[in-house]
């Protein structure tokens, strides 16, 4: 496929609201939703934390790229990605072919509050999760910014409001 596809692709840091916004967008549009974390999990038959501990981050990243290659942007859809998917330039290229890239962002405090509700994120299981989050965020922020077609700050919005903001911005593209 050449050019840009018709998917709405959600990128952004862990806790930015990609999964919940993806569900809200799928409900509102009636379009199918694909989630790369879910695809990778299904492929291994294990949850993300188990994949990281049994096979390591590289194997997880390889599976993430494979999951992207299987997607098509021919029909409209909602694509939800894992926070680290943009680390491989090849993935950003694949995502851009699929459709419009929306960067969901939130301030550091909000992200930390949200991710602290769960212990399912292997990269944040360190002695200093807050410091790790801040470091990863600093490293990744410019990559999200560079890759995205537009961004939505989710810090003070409900998932429904974020979905509405995304759809409004899509209309004015
Ligand atoms: C990751 C984010 C996670 C998941 C994995 C790695 C990352 O997805 O893909 O734990 O590198 O930021 P969420 O962004 O949905 O938490």
| Residue range 26-50: mean pLDDT, rounded | 98
CATH of domain 7-163: 3.40.50.300
Three-state SS at 77: coil
Q: pLDDT digit string (tens) for 107-165?
A: 999 999 999 998 889 999 999 999 999 999 999 999 999 999 999 999 999 999 999 99
Question: What spacing in Å lies between the alpha carbon of 172 and ligand 1's midpoint?
Answer: 30
Q: Which of 11, 54, 43 is nearest to 166 (CA)?
A: 11
Q: Is 64 in the pocket of ligand 1 (CB under 6 A)?
A: no
Sequence-separated (6 or more) residues with CB below 8 Å from residue 42: none
Q: With a cut of 50, say whether residue 53 has pLDDT above it.
A: yes
pTM metric for this prediction: 0.98
Q: What residue spans define the domains of the chain?
A: 7-163
| Ligand 1 atom with minimal separation from the 140 CA | 12
Question: What spacing in Å lies between the alpha carbon of 115 and ligand 1's midpoint?
Answer: 10
Rounded distance between C-alpha atoms, residue 108 and residue 106, angstroms: 6
Q: pLDDT digit string (tens) for 1-16?
A: 458 999 999 999 999 9
Question: What spacing in Å lies between the alpha carbon of 109 and ligand 1's midpoint?
Answer: 18
Cα 65 vs. chain centroid, distance in angstroms? 13
């Amino acid at each position: 496929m050449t050019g840009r596809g018709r998917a709405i692709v959600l990128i952004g840091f862990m806790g930015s609201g990609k999964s919940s916004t993806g569900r809200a967008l799928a409900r509102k549009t009636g379009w199918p939703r694909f989630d790369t974390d879910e695809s990778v999990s299904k492929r291994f038959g294990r949850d993300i934390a188990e994949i990281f501990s049994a096979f390591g981050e590289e194997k997880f990243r390889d599976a993430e790229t494979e999951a992207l290659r299987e997607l098509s942007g021919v029909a409209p859809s909602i694509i939800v990605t894992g926070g680290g998917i943009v680390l491989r330039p090849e993935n950003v290229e694949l995502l851009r072919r699929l459709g419009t890239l929306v960067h969901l962002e939130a301030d550091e405090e909000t992200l930390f509050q949200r991710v602290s509700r769960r212990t399912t994120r292997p990269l944040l299981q360190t002695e200093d999760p807050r410091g790790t989050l801040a470091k990863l965020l600093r490293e990744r922020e410019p990559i999200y910014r560079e890759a995205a077609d537009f961004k939505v700050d989710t810090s003070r919005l409900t998932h429904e409001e974020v979905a509405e903001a995304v759809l409004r911005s899509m209309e004015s593209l």
